[in-house]
């Protein structure tokens, strides 16, 4: 296989996506079910048609790309997502879709009889509606419409309104006849980068548990209100933010992490004691007991903080999924393929969430990681080498060949 033309093939596709959702700071904002993600999916359709592939869109807006004339009963699915976090990078998700298109192009070019479809799932990031993997949850049937009805984006639009506008259905067609699902993704951490390795074969995926904490203090005059009389919601929030970090550090031996990623304060002006704060809390891990210890500590100590300060609060669950162990037979098969190609790899967990978590509910799922520069991701400086996408895609093709024997 001639890698040079593969590099130019991938570069040409990457360049087509590149400008979409560009921010002044050099990153991209392509929020799920928003105009920029629509443009990414339309670009995928243009690219695919240009390559002579057939494109279908399911009723949740996920895009499927296949080799038109091929008719198979079941398919291997390769994919990822095309949305991003605000001011994010251009490689998160996109590398996985590019990998699928590269593999599909090899299958077409070398006339291999391997049933493959490429998928680009909608709205994988939780940034748009507060819940991750919406597109893949819908097409694998793992989201309830009662949950969907609560989801609103940053502009206050409900997901159901957006679906109405686009003509999508909250009860979409559930994917059938799937042999397995393979996703190539940037690691978004530093393990591969620090080890100088090109390939990770993922064993498990830390699933997020997300909570909203509304702190209901009292808005007062910042000049006339003595310190001992205050119900300062922001000072209470400051204690909770440090508590989340402390609990995360305590459980980090079990690869658990805990982050306060959202803080909204009202009225957020200089001369008023803050009356209201909303915190968004993200707890992740691969060890359920460890995650539960963080959660129990958070609930207990938050209650103590608020009681001591005489402040009311509301603790709401946004989403809660369990860590996912990927299919051991797929992992072993990917390892055999890498060894056959003399490509070094390391087995490793994923701290980030992925569509593979949802696909694992309906089929055997596997993931391949490639490094991103200094492990930076969800950041305008996110960067990955497309030649690592080629390396990872060669492992996927070798895996598919073996599976299709």
Which residues lie near Mn ion (CB under 5 A)? 92-93
Locate the DSSP E strands across 303-387: 312-320, 324-325, 346-350, 364-370
Task: Kindly state whether residue 357 participates in binding ligand HGY, applying the rule CB under 6 A.
Answer: no
Interaction partner, residue 398 (ligand HGY, Mn ion, none; CB < 5-8 Å by kind):
none
- Specify the pairing of strand 63-66 against strand 272-273: unpaired
C-alpha to C-alpha distance for 124 and 139, rounded to whole angstroms: 12
Cα-Cα end-to-end distance for the chain: 20
- The site partner of 83 among Mn ion, ligand HGY, none (C-beta below 5 to 8 Å per kind) is none
d(CA 378, CA 91): 9
The values of phi and psi at residue 148, to 5°, are -60, -40
**Out of 353, 366, 371, 392, the residue judged to bind ligand HGY by CB under 6 A:** 353
Query: Count of H helices and E strands in the chain?
Result: 12, 15
Does 358 help bind ligand HGY (rule: CB under 6 A)?
A: no
Question: Is residue 356 a contact partner of residue 181, using CB atoms and an 8 Å limit?
Answer: yes
Q: How far is the CB of 244 from ligand HGY (least distance, A)?
A: 17
DSSP state for residue 149 in the 8-state scheme: H
Residue 186 vs 400, nearer CB to ligand HGY: 186
Q: What does 132 bind: Mn ion, ligand HGY, none (CB cut-off 5 to 8 Å by kind)?
A: ligand HGY
Look at residue 79 and give the partner it binds from ligand HGY, Mn ion, none, a contact being a CB closer than 5 to 8 Å depending on partner kind: none
**Which is nearer to ligand HGY, 47 or 132 (by Cβ)?**
132
Size of the site for ligand HGY (CB under 6 A): 5
Task: State which residue, 132 or 386, has the beta carbon closest to ligand HGY.
Answer: 132
Cα distance between residue 69 and residue 333, in whole Å: 28
251 part of the interface to ligand HGY, by CB under 6 A: no
Min dist CB 185 to ligand HGY, Å, is 9
CB of 132 to ligand HGY, least distance (A): 5
Residues 107-114: contacts with CB under 8 Å, at least 24 apart: 107/67, 107/397, 108/51, 108/52, 108/53, 108/67, 112/401, 113/404, 114/76, 114/400, 114/401, 114/404
How far is 197 from 190, CA to CA, in rounded Å? 10
Site membership for ligand HGY, residue 83 (CB under 6 A): no
Whether residue 160 contacts residue 149, with contact meaning beta carbons closer than 8 Å, is answered with yes
Tokens representing 372? 């991103």
Nearest to ligand HGY of 81, 364 (CB atom)? 81
Task: Quote the Cα angle for 65-321-91, to 5°.
Answer: 40
User: Which of 125, 180, 232, 251 is close enough to bind ligand HGY by CB under 6 A?
Assistant: 125
Is position 32 an interface residue for ligand HGY (rule: CB under 6 A)? Answer: no
Contacts 24+ apart (CB under 8 A), 224-228: 225/273
Whether the CB-CB separation of 210 and 126 falls below 8 Å is answered with: yes
Residues 126-165: x/- map of binding to ligand HGY (CB under 6 A)? ------x---------------------------------
Residue with smaller CB distance to Mn ion, 92 or 282: 92
CB closer to Mn ion out of 29 and 302: 29
Part of the chain binding ligand HGY (CB under 6 A), chosen from 63-71, 124-132, 224-232, 236-244? 124-132
Q: Does 96 bind ligand HGY (CB under 6 A)?
A: no
Instruction: Compare residues 382 and 398 and give the one whose CB is closer to ligand HGY.
Output: 382
- Contact flag: residue 352 with ligand HGY (CB under 6 A): yes
Residues binding ligand HGY (CB under 6 A): 124-125, 132, 352-353
């Amino acid at each position: 296989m001639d890698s040079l033309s593969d590099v130019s093939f991938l570069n040409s596709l990457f360049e087509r996506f590149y400008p979409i959702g560009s921010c002044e700071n050099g990153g991209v904002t392509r929020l799920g079910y928003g105009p920029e993600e629509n443009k990414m999916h339309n670009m995928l359709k243009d690219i695919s048609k240009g390559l002579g592939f057939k494109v279908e869109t399911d009723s949740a807006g996920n895009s499927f790309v296949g080799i038109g004339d091929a008719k198979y009963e079941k398919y291997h699915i390769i994919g990822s997502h095309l949305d991003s976090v605000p001011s994010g990078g251009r490689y998160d998700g996109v590398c996985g879709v590019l990998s699928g298109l590269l593999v599909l192009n090899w299958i077409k070019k070398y006339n291999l009889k391997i049933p493959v479809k490429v998928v680009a799932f909608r709205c994988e990031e939780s940034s748009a509606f507060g819940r991750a993997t919406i597109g893949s949850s819908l097409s694998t049937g793992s989201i309830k419409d009662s949950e969907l009805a609560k989801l609103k984006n940053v502009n206050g639009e409900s997901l159901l309104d957006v679906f109405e506008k686009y003509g999508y259905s909250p009860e979409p067609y559930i994917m059938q006849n799937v042999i397995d699902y393979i996703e190539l993704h940037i690691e978004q951490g530093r393990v591969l980068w620090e080890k100088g390795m090109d390939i990770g074969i993922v064993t498990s995926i830390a699933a997020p548990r997300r909570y909203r904490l509304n702190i209901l203090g009292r808005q007062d005059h910042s000049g006339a209100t003595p310190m001992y009389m205050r119900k300062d919601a922001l000072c209470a929030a400051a204690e909770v933010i440090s508590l989340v970090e402390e609990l995360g550090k305590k459980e980090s031996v079990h690869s658990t992490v805990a982050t306060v990623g959202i803080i909204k304060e009202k009225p957020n002006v200089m001369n008023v004691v803050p009356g209201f704060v909303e915190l968004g809390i993200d707890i992740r891990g691969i060890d359920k007991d460890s995650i539960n210890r963080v959660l129990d500590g958070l609930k207990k100590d938050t209650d103590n903080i608020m009681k001591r300060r005489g402040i009311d609060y509301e603790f709401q669950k946004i989403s809660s999924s369990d860590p996912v162990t990927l299919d051991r037979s797929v992992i072993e098969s990917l390892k055999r393929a890498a060894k056959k190609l003399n490509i070094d790899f390391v087995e490793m967990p994923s701290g980030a969430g992925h569509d593979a978590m949802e696909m694992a509910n309906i089929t055997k799922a596997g993931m391949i990681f490639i490094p991103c520069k200094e492990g930076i991701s969800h950041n305008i400086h996110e960067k990955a080498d497309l030649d690592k996408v080629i390396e990872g895609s060669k492992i996927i093709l070798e895996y598919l060949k073996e599976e299709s024997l």
